[in-house]
Amino acid sequence: MASSSLTQGIVLLGAAVEQERTARPGINASRLAEHTGIERSRVSRLSRELRERRLLERDDDALFAAGAEFFRTAGALNVRWLRESRVALRALAAGVGMNALITVADGVRGVVLRHEIADHGSDRSLRDGLVTPIWCTGAGRALLWDRSSADIETLLRDVQFVGVGGPTAPRSPRDVGRMQGRDRADGLISAREEYDQGVDEFALPIRRDGEIIASLAVRGRHTSKGPSQRTRMLLGQFSQQLSNAAERA
């Protein structure tokens, strides 16, 4: 339900921002419901939460527009390393023949900021704004790289593991901690059929001032061989390149 709420909130915010871009008057709750296909009562609840977070604002005519926090967040994301990432994603996707993506953390979820589909890449459903679990995807677990086992236990304490993920997905915070230890020792997050059966995901963190700000991952069909040396090399190269760009920013 949390992932659904986040996704629908993004949809509502996007609809309000798109209305503003047309230079027409703002959009009210009823029209938001009609435009997005989200039921009216849910639009009311989600829009109230977005207003509390200052992502939306409502004027005296009950018309919605983007709030101050939206513009602050948009400004933070419109940074040099993220602008430069498009070229890196394209080169990475072409170099390894897998879809490439940049993901940021949102609590126990990962949100895709940017992606690039390889010419012969699988998983055409990949899109910007896609929300996935942080604990059973390569991109998500790369965001947990620096977390201790105790930190992971605390973060994932209330997560519902049952029914989420593929055949090798972790089923407890302890499983996640064990996988993190294994992959850190190997120098690469390797999530093989963890989220979707038949799909592997390999990832590394992107850092600024030593702190993890995002992850860089590639995603493609499962193979018995695991990540190739080329995949390791290019992920390392481009994650470092984007980290360097983040430092310059």
Q: Given CATH 1.20.1090.10, say whether it is the number of domain 2-74.
A: no
What superfamily does domain 79-248 belong to in CATH?
Answer: GAF domain (3.30.450.40)
Reported pTM = 0.72
Round the CA-based radius of gyration of the chain to a whole number and report it: 19
Distance in angstroms (rounded) separating the CA atoms of residues 30 and 25: 14
- Residue pair 16/26 in contact (Cβ under 8 Å)? The answer is yes
* Residue ranges per structural domain of the chain: 2-74, 79-248
Q: pLDDT tens digits for 71-113?
A: 656 555 557 788 789 899 999 999 999 999 999 888 898 888 8
C-beta separation of 30 from 45 below 8 A: no
Domains 2-74 and 79-248 are alike in CATH topology? no
Burial 125-159 (b: 16+ CB within 10 A, else e): ebeeebbbbbbbbbbbbbbbbebeeeebeebbeeb
Q: How many residues does this entry show for the chain?
A: 249
pLDDT tens digits along 150-207: 999 999 999 999 889 999 999 999 999 999 999 999 999 999 999 999 999 999 999 9
